[in-house]
Amino acid sequence: MRTRNKPRPWVYLLPAAAVLVPMFGYPIYMLGLLSVFDYRQAQVSGGQPTTFVGFGNYARLLGDGRFWEVLAQTVGFAAALVVSTLAVGAALAVLMTRISPLPRLLLSLAALGAWAAPAMTGSTVWMFLFDADLGLVNQVLGIDGFNWFYDKWMTFAVVGATIVWHSFPLVMVTLYAGIQAIPGSVLEAAALDGASAWASFWRVIVPMLRPLITIVVIQSVIWDFKVFTQIYVMTNGGGVAGQNTVLNVYAYQTAFGSSEYGLGSAIAVVMTLILLVVTLFYIRALHRSGEEL
């Protein structure tokens, strides 16, 4: 018997949309509005009238070599973070399938602690670990007074390790669940055919986990591209002479450091558009994974 008046799937999204659309829609609207005005501290205080500049802020931004330098640095840093997070998460996911229940429980609890730690708290702890005078890392290595946050690439490495520490649990748990869902008969057949553990991982497990891997990669790209807290806290706003500035920090410095709110909003709009494109790929990957799983 055909069911009549069955609500369409999008109807169930209306309660969430009623909350999320105003919550995110209005700030995005105001961000776009500010980006087409010359809006500085003088306009905030009411000393000067607000001037409409259209796409002037965007033209100024796209013609600024510093913007392109920071954008390239952000993309490179985010790419390194995504690869590192995926490698650590995948390695630990495989490890969880090969250890006994008690070590697996301890590893899960440790990962949960890293995942639950606020970014500010985690950044502060890692800064203390790598402190030049009192840091545990320097004491273990037997070096005194070494500043890990002076060199550009060393700073990126320490900050990157902090971000990976925050991010790997999601990848680990997601891939571990995927591995557990693989039928044991498939792995047994690969072993009977003479495949080593390494060959089974790359030729059996990875192809079957491709939908999940695609999802966690795209999600990591979204998170790592917009990283702010760890960079800002651990480098004191961008490192020595701004050498560790990423796009989110650059937008903050432009808007609130230089009081160029219109230009800072333009940077934020560009970031939003980039992340929107990545999000579309993420939604597509979710849809395709639902069909393949």
**Which residues lie below 8 Å from residue 65, measured CB to CB, with a gap of 6+?**
none
CA separation for the pair 264, 43 (Å, rounded): 15
CA separation for the pair 76, 254 (Å, rounded): 21
Is 21 among the domain residues? no
Above 70 in pLDDT, residue 291? no
Is 7 among the domain residues? no
Domain at 197, CATH number = 1.10.3720.10
Q: Which of 233, 216, 274, 258 is nearest to 74 (CA)?
A: 274
pLDDT, tens only, 88-130: 999 999 899 889 999 999 999 999 999 988 999 999 999 999 9
Is 10 among the domain residues? no
Confidence at residue 1, expressed as pLDDT on a 0 to 100 scale = 46
Confidence at residue 17, expressed as pLDDT on a 0 to 100 scale = 82
Domain span at residue 126 reads 53-292
Residue type, 258: S
Is 32 among the domain residues? no
pLDDT, tens only, 177-234: 998 888 878 877 877 777 777 777 788 888 888 888 888 988 899 899 989 999 999 9
Is 11 among the domain residues? no
What is the tally of structural domains in the chain? 1
CA separation for the pair 215, 186 (Å, rounded): 23
Structure tokens at 159: 């900050």
Confidence at residue 60, expressed as pLDDT on a 0 to 100 scale = 93
Above 60 in pLDDT, residue 61? yes
